[in-house]
Structure 1
């Protein structure tokens, strides 16, 4: 039992689903199912049936994921073994792709195509006034302190004009 606990603690820091971690997961889910069954018998509540189905689904999904991960690792190991047998993978760890020239010249040009502009850009400096007068902050300063503030308050609150 002490060896299992030690292996479990080491498997937590090992990437991937280790056999010890899967055994602990399966034991935990089995105990959870027993507890849910006992609570169902004691209370006759449908909630424990629903929780049991959810727990069983999660239990199945975890085991399915571990099985698929193991199958993918085996396929990767088989691929590496085949590369080692053919001698292609022994010199380097990178994959090599062979590019074959088919002699196709293609109909399109290989240059960069220039697109025409669709809209017109407007220069804000030529709209009148200096550049600082056109900023949002300056506009708010004019609205707060000037005549526009009075006009705006008359519009929003007609009964409070010139008060």
Structure 2
């Protein structure tokens, strides 16, 4: 029992539906259905029947979603495995001065040249990435920052602090400043 609770606590922080979390969810919904059935039999109220139907629908929807999510995760893992199996191993690079971006660009352009297979006499132009501007423009200043001055004495620890200026007055000041601009 202690290992189940420990596993449940850890599964809360694990993404996706874990088996421990699904067992706990199903046990909780089963207990709720039992309670609703007992209340229905004790009171003969239609409300408990409706709640039981809603609970059953939610229970089925959660289990369906967990199954679909697990199937999607398996498909993604299969795609990754196929992609890794289909990709040839990269040859070791002898030029250590190249950056990762340059190496990726060179490899992608080389693979494009191989796929295109142009005639031997035709020259294929190599496209280099455009230069990026590194100039940083300063942000526009919107106005001055002013510190608020509290005119009241500091409240004692047991009292709350009440502002001398209401929110409406502050908004009026803001709207006046906007009209001046």
TM range (shorter): 0.5 to 0.7
Match runs of 1:104-119 below 5 Å: none
Distance 1:21 1:34 in 2: 20
Residue 80 in structure 1 maps to residue 80 in structure 2: yes
Q: Which has the larger radius of gyration?
A: 1
1:8-36 per-position Cα deviation (integer Å, ceiling 9, x unaligned): 00111111111100000000000000000
* Unmatched segments (≥5 aa) in structure 2: 91-103, 117-175, 177-181
Q: Which residue of 2 aligns with 1:67?
A: 67
* Greater RCO, 1 or 2 (C-alpha within 8 Å, sep 6+): 2
Hey, which of these two has a bigger chunk of helix by percent?
1
Residue 31 in structure 1 maps to residue 31 in structure 2: yes
SS at match of 1:14: coil
TM-score calculated relative to the size of structure 2: 0.49
Distance 1:61 1:75 in 2: 21
* CA RMSD across the alignment: 2.6
Q: Which residue of 2 aligns with 1:20?
A: 20
Residue 47 in structure 1 maps to residue 47 in structure 2: yes
Moved over 6 A (4+): 98-101
| TM-aligned CA deviation for residue 73 of structure 1 | 0.3
* Unmatched segments (≥5 aa) in structure 1: 102-136, 138-163
Distance 1:40 1:61 in 2: 23
TM-score calculated relative to the size of structure 1: 0.55
Distance 2:42 2:75 in 1: 48
Distance 1:53 1:80 in 2: 41
| TM-aligned CA deviation for residue 50 of structure 1 | 0.3
